[in-house]
Amino acid sequence: MTATDDIIAPFSLDNAPVRGRIARLAEGALDPILHRHDYPRPVALLLGEALTLAALIGSLLKTDGRLVIQAQGEGPVSLLVAEHLDGGVRGYARLADGAAEALRGAHRMAPAELLGAGSLILTLDLGESTTPFQGVVALEGATLAQCAETYFRVSEQTDTGIRLAVGEIISGDAPSQWRAGGVLMQRLASDQTRGDTEEDWRRASILFHTLTDEELIDPALPADRLLYRLFHEEGVRMGEAAPLDDRCSCSAERLTSVMKTFPKDEIADLIEPDGKLHARCQFCSREYLIDPAQILAAEGK
C-alpha cells in the first residue's frame, strides 16, 4: 500500500514545461515536532511552513547534503531553523522573552511580523570538507512561500511557484494532529525542442493558483489525486514518493565535542548537583547527561 502522508514526490507535466515536488507532512514528520514544543499558533504555523519548504527544496538537490532554512531578527521569534537531510526533517523556533504569552490567541502572521526586519537564509551544507553555499532573500513577502519564490526568481533566475499550508485536524475527543502540505513547481527553460515556454507556463500557473490550503492538508486527498485534480488537463505524472520523518541528528558525542570548546571555568559552572552536565537538544528536547571528566580530561583542562 502506498503511503499518503509523510512523503515527498516529484512530478512533471506532459503538456507544459513544468517540473516540481509535492510534500505531505503529518503524524510522522510534523506533528511530533510542533507538539513537542507547544509553540503559540502563529509560530507553529510558520515553523510548519519552514519545515515543508526545507523538504521541498532539499529534495530538489542532485547531491547529498543538509538543506537549512534559517531566519533571525529582533521580533517575537528571535530565531527560526528548519532542516532537511536525506528524508529527515527537524526544526525549532526561539522566542524572545515574553513573546509566548503575547502571541497566545493570535493566528497567522507574516514572517516579518514574527521575525522582525531581516533575511531568510538558505544554506546547503555538503559536509566538513566543503564550504557551505548560502543564498539570502529579504523577509518582505506576506508569506514564507512568497519569500522563497523571490529567492528563486532573483538568485536562481528560475520561475517558481510555491504553496505551503499548515493546519490542525481536530476529530472528536482524539488529540489534534498537525498537518502540512506543499507544492513547488518550476518552469523549464526554453530550448529548440520546447520552443517558447512562456504561454504554457502561464497556463500552468493559472491552474496552480487555484490550489487551496484545505486541499493541501486534507487527509482524504492523497498527493497523486491532488495533482490530478489540479493538472489533469496538462497530463500530470507523479514519480515515486520518498518518506519523510521527524529525525534529529543530535548525539552525546556531538554535544560533548561542542562542550570541549568551552573554557574550564564555564564547564565548572554548568555542573549540576548530581555531578553531571545536563545538555538538552534545542531541536528534539532530548536531554543528555555528560560526565565532566570526559571533557576536562580529554582536553587536559
pTM, entire model: 0.89
* Co-location of 138 and 284 in the same domain: no
* pLDDT per position as a tens digit, 48-60: 999 999 999 999 9
Q: Is residue 24 part of a domain?
A: yes
Angle at which helix 223-231 crosses helix 198-208, to 10 degrees, equals 120
CATH classification at residue 163:
3.55.30.10
Count of domains for the chain: 2
Residue among 148, 46, 131 nearest 91 (CA): 46
* Co-location of 79 and 164 in the same domain: yes
* pLDDT per position as a tens digit, 249-275: 888 888 888 788 888 888 888 888 898
Residue 294 structural domain: 252-299
What percentage of residues in the chain have a pLDDT greater than 70? 95
Q: What's the confidence (pLDDT) of residue 299?
A: 47
Alpha-carbon distance of 183 to 11, in angstroms, equals: 10
CATH classification at residue 256:
3.90.1280.10
* Co-location of 241 and 261 in the same domain: no
Q: Does 2 have pLDDT greater than 70?
A: no
Q: Which amino acid is at 217?
A: I
Mean pLDDT score of the chain? 90
Residue 204 burial by CB count (10 A; 0-12/13-18/19+): exposed, middle or buried? buried
Adjacent-strand bridge partners of 22 = 9, 183
Q: Does 207 have pLDDT greater than 80?
A: yes
* Co-location of 88 and 226 in the same domain: yes
* Co-location of 219 and 292 in the same domain: no
* C-alpha cell read off for 206: 493559472
Place of cell 502572521: 109
